[in-house]
């Protein structure tokens, strides 16, 4: 138990250092602030739009798995990881960076649990669930990584919140993609 507490304190110190470094950049980079706000706010919608285009097969996908099956796997993965993260968030009850540090986040957000990041988990689940969609998977992964960074940059999550969320989402997305590939060749 003591080792766990020591590791958690190290993560907390590292998280605080990252948050301080990023918030110190805000006055120097208003253009980057604007990009990060838009990314944090609208990327989930853009990712879903990309998946709708993929499911409609507007751009023909030549893989062993149909586009619809891959899109369904992505969405199922995002729903599953969200369901799995909910009790973890309630158990840890970790406050958001702006709850403990003296700053207002760049993007308005409710106070509350931040660990693990559901946005990071969902984005990575959507991206990795579409692993069988050439072209789309690269777009989705790029959007997901951008969303993960923007959540930290805007002061909505700690670095460790996003890392743990992204790892969970990636794992869930890959599992769902390969399970769907096995059952619906």
Residue 113 DSSP SS3: strand
Q: Would you say residue 26 lies in a domain?
A: no
Highest mean pLDDT among 5-14, 60-69, 76-85, 132-141: 76-85
**pLDDT (tens digit, 9 = 90+) per residue, 16-74?**
888 888 888 888 889 999 999 999 999 999 999 998 888 886 666 555 557 778 888 89
Find out whether 165 and 120 touch, Cβ atoms under 8 Å. Answer: yes
Identify the pLDDT of residue 23: 85
Q: Would you say residue 25 lies in a domain?
A: no
| pLDDT exceeds cutoff 70 at 184 | no
Q: Would you say residue 146 lies in a domain?
A: yes
Q: Would you say residue 66 lies in a domain?
A: yes
pTM: 0.88
134: tokens are 């050439």
Domain span holding position 156:
35-183
Q: Would you say residue 30 lies in a domain?
A: no
Residue 55 DSSP SS3: helix
Identify the pLDDT of residue 32: 93
**pLDDT (tens digit, 9 = 90+) per residue, 99-115?**
888 888 988 888 888 88
Q: Would you say residue 23 lies in a domain?
A: no
d(CA 10, CA 3): 11
Count up the domains in the chain and report the number.
1
d(CA 42, CA 50): 13
Show the 3-state SS of 146-185.
HHHHHHHHCCCCCHHHHHHHHHHHHHHHHHHHHHHHHHCC
Q: Would you say residue 140 lies in a domain?
A: yes
Give the residue, 1 or 80, on which the prediction is more confident.
80
Q: Would you say residue 5 lies in a domain?
A: no
């Amino acid at each position: 138990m003591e080792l766990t507490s020591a590791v958690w304190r190290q993560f907390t110190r590292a998280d605080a250092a990252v948050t301080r470094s990023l918030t110190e950049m805000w006055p120097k980079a208003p253009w980057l602030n604007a990009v990060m706000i838009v990314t944090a706010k609208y990327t989930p919608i853009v990712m879903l739009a990309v998946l709708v285009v993929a499911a409609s097969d507007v751009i023909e996908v030549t893989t062993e798995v149909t586009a619809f099956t891959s899109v369904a796997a992505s969405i199922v993965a995002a729903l599953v990881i969200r369901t799995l993260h909910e009790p973890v968030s309630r158990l840890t009850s970790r406050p958001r960076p702006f709850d403990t540090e003296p700053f207002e986040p760049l993007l308005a957000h409710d106070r509350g649990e931040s660990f693990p990041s559901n946005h990071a988990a969902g984005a990575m689940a959507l991206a990795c669930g579409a692993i069988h969609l050439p072209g789309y998977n690269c777009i989705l992964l790029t959007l997901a990584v951008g969303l993960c960074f923007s959540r930290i940059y805007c002061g909505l999550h700690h670095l460790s919140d996003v890392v743990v969320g992204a790892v969970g989402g990636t794992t869930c997305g890959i599992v769902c993609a390969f399970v769907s590939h096995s059952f619906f060749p």
